[in-house]
Chain A
C-alpha cells in the first residue's frame, strides 16, 4: 500500500479523502449556484404562487409561457442549478450519516440516479418543447 493510501485509510470515520481539488470546486459551486438560485427560485415561487396563483394554473398557461424561449432557458438554468446543488447537498448528508461503504454506495447510486434522471427528463422536455407538438390526451 502506498504511503498516500495508508494516510487515506488512517482516520476512520471522516468523509472520503478529497480527490484532487474536487471538494474545493464543490464548495465553490455550492456558493455560486446558491446565490444564483436565490434569484431564480425565489422569482419562480413569487410568480407561480403569488402573482399567477396555483389555483389558476393550467397546462395551456404553461405551454403558452413555454412558447417564449427565454422562459424555457430560464427553467433549464433553474432546474440544472437546483438539481446539481441539491444533489451535492444530498451527497454531504449521505457521507455524514451512511457510514458503511456498501450501504453508502447503494444509497448514492439510488439518489444520483433519481436526481439525474429527473434532471434529464426536465431538460429534455424544455429543450424539445414545440407548441405544435400534437397532444396525447
Chain B
C-alpha cells in the first residue's frame, strides 16, 4: 500500500531512531515552512499600508488579539530556532571538526533557544494574563507624553502663563 513510492509510513518514521539529528532536521523543516506561510500573509498585509491604511488597521486588529499573541510567540520561536540550528549546520559544513561534535552542538543550540525564548515569552505573554505591561509600553507613553507637551505649550503661552 504505502510502499508504492518506497516511502515509509508515519509510524515507521517515528520509530526510526535518528536521535538528535532526526528531530532537529524535522523541526528545521516544520519551522521553515511555518515561517514561509506567515511571511506570505505578512508581506501582503504590510504592502496594504501605502494605499489602504484602513485595511491595514483591520489586519492589525487581528494581530493585536490575545490569540494571535501566542501565534507571534510561535513565530519568534520558529525564527530563533531556525536561525540557531541553521548556524549550526553552516558551522558543521564549513568546519569539519565541528561535525565530530554535532551532538554537543545540538544541545548547545537547544539550551540557547530555551534560555532566549523564556524571557521573550514572559515579556510577550504577561500582558495577555494581566501580569505586566505590553512590550514597548514605557517607550510608547514617553512618545505620547512628548506629543502632549508640544500641544499644550502654546496653550500656556497663549494664556500668558510663565513656565
Which residues of A pack against B, CB within 8 Å?
A: 12-13, 31, 34-35, 37-38, 41-42, 45, 49-60, 62-63, 66, 79, 82-83, 86-87, 89-90, 93, 99-100, 114-115, 118-119, 121-122, 124-126, 128-130, 133, 135-137
Give the bracket for the number of chain B residues in contact with chain A: 35 or more
Chain A neighbourhood of B43, CB < 8 A: 79, 83, 118-119, 121-122
Besides the contacts A31-B93, A49-B124, what 12 more A-B pairs have beta carbons closer than 8 Å? A35-B90, A55-B136, A56-B137, A66-B49, A82-B39, A83-B36, A86-B35, A86-B36, A87-B36, A93-B33, A118-B39, A121-B44
If A13-B6, A137-B52 touch, does A93 touch B29 (CB 8 Å cutoff)? yes
Residue contact A56 to B136, C-beta cutoff 8 Å? yes
Chain A neighbourhood of B18, CB < 8 A: none
If A49-B76, A57-B60, A66-B49 touch, does A115 touch B44 (CB 8 Å cutoff)? no
If A31-B90, A51-B135 touch, does A86 touch B53 (CB 8 Å cutoff)? no
How many angstroms between the C-alpha atoms of A135 and B86 in the bound complex? 41
Residue contact A136 to B52, C-beta cutoff 8 Å? yes
How many angstroms between the C-alpha atoms of A58 and B12 in the bound complex? 49
Per-residue CB proximity of B65-96 to A under 8 Å, as 1/0?
00001001001100110010011001001000
Q: Is the interface of B mostly helix, strand, loop or mixed?
A: helix
Pick from A59, A125, A133, A137 the residue with the most CB of B within 10 Å: A59
Listed from nearest, the 7 A-B pairs whose CB atoms lie closest are A53-B136, A59-B53, A125-B47, A86-B36, A122-B43, A53-B135, A55-B134
Residue contact A99 to B135, C-beta cutoff 8 Å? no
Residue contact A42 to B44, C-beta cutoff 8 Å? no
* CB closest residue in chain A, given B127: A55
Could you list 14 A-B pairs, sorted by A, with CB under 8 Å?
Answer: A45-B75, A53-B135, A53-B137, A53-B140, A55-B134, A55-B135, A87-B36, A114-B40, A118-B44, A124-B47, A128-B50, A129-B50, A135-B54, A137-B53
If A57-B60, A57-B63, A59-B56 touch, does A86 touch B39 (CB 8 Å cutoff)? yes
* CB closest residue in chain B, given A131: B50
CB distance from A75 to the nearest CB of B (A): 8
Residue contact B36 to A59, C-beta cutoff 8 Å? no
CB distance from B88 to the nearest CB of A (A): 11
How many angstroms between the C-alpha atoms of A137 and B53 in the bound complex? 7
Does B120 interact with chain A (Cβ within 8 Å)?
yes
The residue from A86, A121, A130 contacting B47, defined by CB atoms under 8 A apart? A121
